[in-house]
């Protein structure tokens, strides 16, 4: 199989829903990144583009993004919907294209505008028409599992796992605090600044709270009522943003004299119980590491998408010795979670985390609605 490299990865700022990007469709966010990557990497050849999206208007948003970016209309482009894992799935597919000899240069990532998430309507003859909350067929959140129409199914899944594992509110809030502190530290040092492309003059992530405290977290109400554990502090916010990367074959980087950032060592997709989606991150990472003959302790950086602090607690309990290498720059509890883009955002953060560690190998992993998971292992180039 052809070795595959990450030439460059960039993201937009991650901003809150209905914030400064409230009027920008996801294809515009993605287009800015595609233009920047083409320019910065001097790309005269692009064999294809794969983009993830979860709550957009439908259709082939990635094709629209490529055309808005002014890229050659002969370049094929298609969109992947694996919900939260969409961008990681796009990277997985681009890796597979190159490693199997189907081109030398693929752009992959994702884009999301939760601000512009459309209200949809089931057809009147669809049995789900009367199963929606107001019994008028209207919905924002798609169905992820048979018999489950709840719009807050992801939240309930996280609460279910917390109950199964005996996870306490205190454990969850400890990780929320860690996430904000680490993200605030990274922002203060401008560690990610070179990887963030301004959008209409805006280059700041607006979800990080440097003054987050245990006392503040304790005051937040329980999202699902008495006897539960999750609050707005231990669940991610809803956001807008995009991230894309240039992946290339070994032959291409050698011919062009390019020094890539990292080599991808392996990828994995996995499914599991659809009503316990937070388990997907570590479960998929476990499978990929076993396949590659690696352990977490051998990795220099670990990036999981912390849509819920439950994911952090599951990892920390299983691998306490790796806590300092886990989400070194903070995670989605601080930055936020623009669903279809988050897998590629993890790639941007993993590259920087490995740089801070002085090199080595790292993993990113993300759980997706419906019990899905995607993971990628890479090695920073010396």
Rounded to 10 deg, the angle between the 26-40 and 61-68 helix axes is 50
Q: Report the alpha-carbon distance of residue 29 to residue 27 in Å, rounded.
A: 5
For CA atoms 335, 340, 343, 345, the dihedral sign is negative
Question: Backbone phi, then psi, for 31, in 5-degree steps?
Answer: -60, -40
Contact present, 333 and 339 (Cβ < 8 Å): no
β-strands 48-52, 372-380: how paired?
unpaired
Q: Report the alpha-carbon distance of residue 141 to residue 185 in Å, rounded.
A: 34
* CB-count exposure of residue 1 (10 Å: 0-12, 13-18, 19+): exposed
Q: Report the alpha-carbon distance of residue 309 to residue 179 in Å, rounded.
A: 9
Residue 236 a catalytic site member: no
Out of 41, 180, 319, 337, the active site residue is 337
Out of 84, 180, 236, 349, the active site residue is 84
Q: Which of 362, 367, 341, 180 is nearest to 281 (CA)?
A: 367
Residue 41 a catalytic site member: no
* CB-count exposure of residue 273 (10 Å: 0-12, 13-18, 19+): middle
Q: Which of 169, 163, 82 is nearest to 344 (CA)?
A: 82
Among all residues, which ones are annotated catalytic? 84, 337
């Amino acid at each position: 199989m052809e070795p595959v490299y990450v030439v460059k990865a960039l993201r937009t700022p991650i901003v809150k829903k209905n914030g400064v990007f409230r009027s920008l469709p996801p294809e515009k966010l993605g287009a800015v990144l595609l233009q920047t990557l083409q320019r910065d990497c001097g790309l005269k050849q692009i064999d294809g583009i794969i983009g993830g999206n979860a709550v957009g208007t439908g259709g082939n948003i990635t094709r629209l993004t490529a055309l808005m970016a002014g890229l050659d209309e002969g370049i094929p482009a298609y969109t992947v919907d694996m919900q939260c894992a969409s961008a990681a799935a796009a990277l997985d597919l681009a890796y597979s294209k190159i490693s199997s000899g189907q081109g030398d240069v693929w752009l992959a990532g994702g884009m999301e505008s939760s601000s512009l998430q459309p209200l949809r309507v089931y057809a009147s003859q669809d049995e789900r028409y009367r199963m929606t909350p107001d019994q008028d067929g209207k919905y924002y959140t798609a169905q992820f599992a048979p018999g489950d129409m709840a719009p807050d199914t992801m939240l309930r899944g996280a609460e279910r796992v917390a109950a199964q594992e005996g996870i306490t509110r205190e454990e969850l809030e400890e990780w929320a605090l860690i996430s904000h502190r680490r993200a605030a530290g990274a922002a203060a040092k401008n560690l990610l600044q070179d990887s963030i492309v301004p959008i209409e003059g805006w280059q700041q992530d607006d979800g990080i709270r440097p003054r987050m405290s245990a006392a503040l977290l304790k005051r937040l109400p329980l999202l699902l009522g008495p006897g539960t554990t999750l609050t707005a502090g231990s669940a991610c916010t809803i956001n807008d943003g995009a991230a894309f990367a240039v992946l290339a074959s070994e032959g291409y980087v050698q011919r062009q004299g390019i020094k890539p950032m990292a080599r991808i060592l392996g990828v994995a997709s996995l499914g599991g119980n659809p009503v316990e989606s937070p388990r997907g991150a570590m479960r998929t990472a476990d499978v990929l590491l076993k396949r590659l003959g690696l352990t977490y302790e051998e990795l220099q950086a670990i990036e999981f998408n912390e849509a819920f602090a439950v994911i952090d607690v599951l990892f920390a309990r299983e691998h306490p010795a790796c806590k300092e290498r886990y989400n070194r720059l903070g995670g989605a509890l601080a930055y936020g979670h623009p669903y279809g883009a988050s897998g590629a955002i993890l790639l941007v953060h993993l590259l920087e985390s490995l740089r801070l560690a002085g090199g080595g190998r790292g993993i990113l992993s993300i759980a997706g609605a419906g019990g899905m998971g995607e993971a990628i292992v890479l090695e920073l180039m010396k």
